Amino acid sequence: MVGRFGLDRFEELLKAVPHRPSGERFRREFAEVYGEGLDAVVEEFLAMTECPEDAHSVPLPPICGAPRLEPTGAETWLYTRVLECSMDGVVGSRDEHVLGHVTIDLPSDGMYELASFGDGSVIGALAPCGPCPWLRQAEGIYDSQSFVALIEGRYVLSLRGPGDETSLAGVMLRRVGPIEDPEEPDSAP
């Protein structure tokens, strides 16, 4: 909602509805503030396949400002580190898990291999930054080895490990080829 209509309307809606409004009241206030019915806006949102040019800037999560990881080779990035609760650049708690983050600027669309490795139960996670992140179907948590279609842009790459121990962790991301269109038939000779 913020990305399409801006923050002002969203704040206006929040002020107009009580803490736990009935569905009917919420729909009525929504239509009053946005000038459209909730169902129509949701349907349009779910059918969206491209980021509108007039999309409002949605504030990026702080992790999208994490240090940038430079490629280690041709469209290949390798991020390794020790995950320990008291280290700089690591967030979390000893009771749960700890995270380390970097950002990656992908120069091109393609199929990418994401492989995480390390002590114990270390996993890698990938999330898009930038406008309309909900359209960039890359967000997910990956263990061991995964292949994912990514589009050009900035992503945050995270490592997660247990908070109650020190772990050596790493994740490798590399472009393995173009995005294959499942709609295109194979060209057989």
The position carrying tokens 């996670």 is: 125
- State pLDDT tens for residues 32-45: 999 999 999 888 87
The verdict on 13 and 94 lying in the same domain is no
CATH, residue 115:
2.60.120.380
What is the domain range of residue 32? Answer: 2-47
The verdict on 31 and 69 lying in the same domain is no
- Tell which residue, 117, 114, 109, has the closest CA to residue 177: 109
- State pLDDT tens for residues 72-99: 999 999 988 888 878 887 777 777 777 7
The position carrying tokens 């983050």 is: 101
Question: Does any domain span residue 56?
Answer: no
DSSP label at residue 64: G
Question: Does any domain span residue 27?
Answer: yes
Per-residue pLDDT of the chain (189 residues; tens, 9 = 90+): 777 787 788 889 888 888 788 889 899 999 999 999 999 988 887 777 777 777 766 656 667 888 999 999 999 999 888 888 788 877 777 777 777 888 999 999 999 998 888 776 777 778 888 766 666 545 555 557 888 888 888 888 888 778 888 888 888 899 999 987 655 444 444
The verdict on 70 and 96 lying in the same domain is yes
Question: Does any domain span residue 129?
Answer: yes
pTM: 0.64
Question: Does any domain span residue 26?
Answer: yes
The verdict on 70 and 42 lying in the same domain is no
- How many domains, the chain? 2
The verdict on 84 and 7 lying in the same domain is no
